[in-house]
Amino acid sequence: MPSKIVKIRENLYVNSIFIDKIGLSFNQFIVVSKDEKITLIETGFRNDFAALAENITSIGLNPENINNVIVPHFEADEMGALPEILNVSKQKVKVYAHPICTFGLNDIFNARAKPVKDNEIISIFEGCSLKFIYTQHVHQWDSLVVYWIEQKILFSSDLFIQKGEFTGINSENCITEIIASIHKDNYLPSHNHLNHALDKIKENKIDIIFPMHGSGLSNHIDLYIDSLKELTF
């Protein structure tokens, strides 16, 4: 499986694994503090953890220093590698998720995950305050997205996804690809839930969106949000 790690900012990397057969990339986001501790948003699949750890090592960081893990919902690509992380890390790993998700993570992995509240802001380190925004039923009942306040970056999990490899931050208009992906996989629920989530997301000033599948998005953020609100299923 081809995988790569891409530097986005001094303290932000994207690890991406592309699965040819389904034409989809799976992204994990690596936020690095000054003392080189790692906050991982999305774990990726359990079977892909070796590649993720290798890529983290290749940029001079150490998987043993993963000290925070954020799980946007209870699904294999979002939390599957958690037991491997708990095993490899030498830190007291804090796991953050929606209460329904933490219940599952604690029961299955003994993860001691911490439930976050809707719109709760947690300071990870100076310059990294993360706001957890519930997006229930989009597309799971424990779904949330994560907004990095200082960087105006939204880690949108399964919202705004596109087929194809991760190619960095795409400033072109990708709305056709985003909508095609929603229709093809039919993974989004009722308009009410989706619109409610989009309204909550829109309250934040967003410069970049990083979905967990496909490339980062910039320049057309309002258009993306408004277009999904007008979608018909």
- Which residues sit at the interface with Fe ion, rule CB under 5 A? 75, 77, 158, 212
Smallest distance, Fe ion to C-beta of residue 36, A? 28
d(CA 12, CA 160): 20
Q: For residue 38, give the 3-state DSSP assignment.
A: strand
Residue 16 or 67 with smaller CB distance to Fe ion:
16
CB of 50 to Fe ion, least distance (A): 20
In the complex, what is the shortest distance from the CB of residue 16 to Fe ion, in angstroms, rounded to a whole number? 13
Nearer to Fe ion, 42 or 84 (CB): 42
In the bound state with Fe ion, the residue whose beta carbon lies nearer, of 75 and 177, is 75
Structure tokens at 184: 């093809």
In the complex, minimum distance from the CB of residue 74 to Fe ion, in angstroms, rounded to a whole number: 9
Nearest alpha-carbon partner for 217 in 20, 14, 78: 14
Smaller CB separation from Fe ion, 37 or 104: 104
Contact yes or no for 131/120 (Cβ under 8 A): yes
| Residue placing its CB nearer to Fe ion in the complex, 212 or 225 | 212
Tokens linked to 112: 């001691």
Least distance (Å) between residue 186 CB and Fe ion? 13
Edge-to-edge strands, sheet with 12-19: 3-9, 12-19, 24-32, 38-41, 66-70, 94-97, 114-115
Beta bridge partners, 12, equal 9, 31
